[in-house]
Amino acid sequence: MAAKEATPGGPHTRRGYIALVYGLQKARRTGILEVRSARHWRRLYVIDGVPCWSASDRIDDELARSLVQSGAIREKELSQFRRELGPYDGLGKALLAAGKLDGSSLAEHRLMLVEPGVGAPVGWDRGDWSFTARDGLPLDALDPGLLPPVSALRGLWEAVCHFVRMDEALPAVVDTAAGPLRPEPGLTRTLPTLGLKDPLDGFAASLGEGIAVDALFKKIPDRSGHLVLLVWFLQMVGLIRRDEAAMEQGLLKLAEGRDLLSASALMWPDYGEPSPDSSQPAQGPAGRVSPPVKAPKAKAQAAGPKVAPSARKAVQGQGTRRTGSRAEGTFAHENRRAKKSKGLGKEVEHLARLIRTAHRHRMGQDFYGFLDLARTADGGEIQDAYDRLTRGWQAAASNSGLPEEDRRLVDELNAAAILVWQTLSDARQRDEYDSRLAAGTAPVLSGGGQEDLLPPTSALGEGDLLPEHAKARKLMERGNFREALLMLEDLREGQPSSPEVLADLGWCAWRTKHMGGDGNDGPEDFLLLAHTFEPRCVRALEFLARIAKEKQDLAKLKTWTKRLIAVVPDHAWAKSELKKASAGRGSRK
pLDDT tens digit string along 542-563? 999 999 888 888 888 888 898 8
Q: Could you report the per-residue pLDDT of 70-81, keeping only the tens digit for each? A: 777 777 777 777
Rounded CA separation 122/286 (Å) = 7
- pLDDT on residue 279: 32
Rounded CA separation 383/26 (Å) = 33
Q: Does residue 204 share a domain with residue 116?
A: no
For 39, 562, 581, the CA distances from 569, given in Å and listed in that order, are: 46, 9, 17
Residue 199 lies in a domain: yes
Cβ atoms of residues 78 and 68 within 8 Å: yes
- pLDDT on residue 537: 86
8-state DSSP, 305: S
Residue 520 has pLDDT above 60, yes or no: no
- pLDDT on residue 346: 67
Q: Could you report the per-residue pLDDT of 351-362, keeping only the tens digit for each? A: 787 788 788 778
Q: Does residue 434 share a domain with residue 331?
A: yes
- pLDDT on residue 217: 83
Worst-scoring range by mean pLDDT, 35-39, 67-71, 340-344, 525-529? Answer: 340-344
| Residue 472, CA atoms < 13 Å, CB-side half-sphere | 26
Residue 522 lies in a domain: yes
For 235, 287, 365, 371, 400, the CA distances from 167, given in Å and listed in that order, are: 16, 21, 22, 17, 22
Amino acid letter, residue 427:
A
For 134, 459, 494, 507, 534, the CA distances from 501, given in Å and listed in that order, are: 59, 11, 10, 10, 12
Total of domains in the chain: 4
Rounded CA separation 67/512 (Å) = 35
Residue 274 lies in a domain: no
8-state DSSP, 187: H
Q: How confident is the model at residue 430 (pLDDT cuts 50, 70, 90)?
A: confident
3-class state of residue 375 by DSSP: coil
Q: Could you report the per-residue pLDDT of 448-488, keeping only the tens digit for each? A: 433 333 333 334 444 467 888 888 888 888 888 888 888 88
Residue 142 lies in a domain: no
Residue 566 has pLDDT above 50, yes or no: yes
Q: Does residue 190 share a domain with residue 95?
A: no
| CATH number where 466 lies | 1.25.40.10
Q: Does residue 470 share a domain with residue 446?
A: no
The mean pLDDT value for 245-254 works out to 47
Residue 300 lies in a domain: no
| Residue 74, CA atoms < 13 Å, CB-side half-sphere | 3
Q: Does residue 472 share a domain with residue 571?
A: yes
Residue 70 lies in a domain: yes
8-state DSSP, 122: G
- pLDDT on residue 87: 62
Q: Does residue 243 share a domain with residue 336?
A: no
Domain boundary pick from 89, 107, 137:
137
Q: How confident is the model at residue 262 (pLDDT cuts 50, 70, 90)?
A: very low
Domain boundary pick from 452, 480, 512:
452
Instruction: Select from 30, 54, 35, 36 the least CA-distant residue to 44.
Output: 54
Q: Does residue 249 share a domain with residue 332?
A: no
- pLDDT on residue 3: 46
Average pLDDT over the chain reads: 72
Residue 293 lies in a domain: no
Residue 133 has pLDDT above 80, yes or no: yes
Q: Does residue 369 share a domain with residue 346?
A: yes
3-class state of residue 570 by DSSP: coil
pTM recorded for the entire structure: 0.44
Percent of the chain's residues with pLDDT above 70? 73
Domain region containing 44: 9-137
Q: Does residue 439 share a domain with residue 319?
A: yes
Residue 587 lies in a domain: no
Q: Does residue 441 share a domain with residue 321?
A: yes
Q: Does residue 448 share a domain with residue 321?
A: yes
- pLDDT on residue 246: 47
- pLDDT on residue 33: 92
3-class state of residue 143 by DSSP: coil
Instruction: Select from 295, 404, 322, 311 the least CA-distant residue to 358.
Output: 311
Q: Does residue 132 share a domain with residue 13?
A: yes
Domain boundary pick from 211, 237, 267:
267
- For residue 215, what are the contacts with CB-CB under 8 A and spacing of at least 6? none
Q: Could you report the per-residue pLDDT of 294-308, keeping only the tens digit for each? A: 333 333 333 332 333
Strands of 76-151, DSSP E: 128-133
What does the DSSP assignment read for 395-407? Answer: HHHT-TTS-HHHH
